[in-house]
């Protein structure tokens, strides 16, 4: 299920990027913490406190300010973007449960297996491989950073609730904006500061709430090679 939902979420997001402005597609995708909270409450009876609900609202507001969606695009793109957030939220909720009995690498394995099975037929119809050194460097960088990011994400969900982990992951928007400023010279305006403050502030607020309530985060043992997913 994790492999299927993760693959569907990623493919829908790519489709939305093709049909919508990138900022709009990102805005839709990063609604997933709210869906993660809903799925966790439904599947695992996890409770979202009033402070947690406020953090969810704050992080979505931060993404809206930082990304600044543009007008335009097709209805299919909006539907794909919203559904990508729904499936991403379900994926986050599933990873949280899987991490209790499975290692990070095992969880990632099934995402790769399902993703490969889905995409291989389309790739084989018209294969495109990197030819120049620059293309190889870019593709290699995508592969390495994606693997590292997925493994760290799976590991992290063993120590926080699914919707909390989703809040932390929204900092990706801020880091992407930072990379654009440092590497591509994107303008540094008020949206960056206000949106970034809301996003990172929400993550800090939920951590503070946990500390004040005196609840320690559960520790999930790393599963061995025989762990099931």
pLDDT given for residue 11 in this prediction: 94
CB atoms within 10 A of CB 129: 8
Does residue 125 form part of some domain? no
Does residue 52 form part of some domain? yes
Does residue 141 form part of some domain? no
pLDDT given for residue 6 in this prediction: 92
Helix (H, G, I), strand (E, B) or coil at 220: coil
Residue in the structure block whose two tokens are 């986050």: 92
pTM across the whole model: 0.71
- d(CA 162, CA 91) in angstroms, rounded, equals 9
Does residue 127 form part of some domain? no
Mean per-residue pLDDT, 210-229: 47
Does residue 73 form part of some domain? yes
- d(CA 33, CA 53) in angstroms, rounded, equals 10
pLDDT given for residue 65 in this prediction: 81
Structural domain range at position 194: 2-118+151-213
User: Over the chain, what is the mean pLDDT?
Assistant: 79
* Number of domains making up the chain: 1
Does residue 163 form part of some domain? yes
**What angle separates helix 22-29 from helix 50-67, to the nearest 10 degrees?**
170
Length reported for the chain: 229
């Amino acid at each position: 299920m994790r492999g299927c939902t993760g693959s569907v979420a990623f493919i829908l997001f790519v489709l939305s990027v093709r049909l919508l402005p990138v900022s709009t597609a990102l805005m839709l995708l990063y609604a997933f913490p709210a869906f993660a909270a809903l799925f966790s409450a439904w599947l695992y009876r996890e409770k979202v406190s009033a402070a947690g609900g406020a953090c969810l609202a704050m992080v979505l507001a931060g993404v809206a300010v930082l990304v600044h969606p543009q007008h335009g695009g097709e209805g299919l793109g909006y539907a794909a973007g919203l559904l990508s957030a729904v499936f991403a939220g379900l994926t986050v909720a599933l990873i949280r449960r899987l991490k209790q009995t499975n290692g990070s690498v095992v969880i990632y394995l099934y995402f790769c297996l399902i993703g490969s099975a889905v995409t291989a037929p389309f790739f084989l119809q018209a294969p495109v491989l990197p030819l120049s050194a620059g293309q190889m460097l870019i593709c290699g960088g995508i592969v390495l950073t994606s693997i590292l990011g997925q493994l760290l994400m799976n590991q992290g969900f063993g120590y926080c609730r699914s919707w909390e982990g989703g809040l932390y992951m929204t900092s990706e928007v801020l880091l992407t904006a930072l990379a654009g400023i440092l590497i591509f010279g994107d303008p540094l305006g008020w949206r960056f500061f206000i949106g970034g403050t809301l996003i990172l502030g929400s993550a800090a607020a939920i951590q503070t709430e946990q500390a004040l309530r005196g609840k320690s985060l559960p520790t999930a043992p790393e599963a061995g090679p025989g762990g099931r997913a």
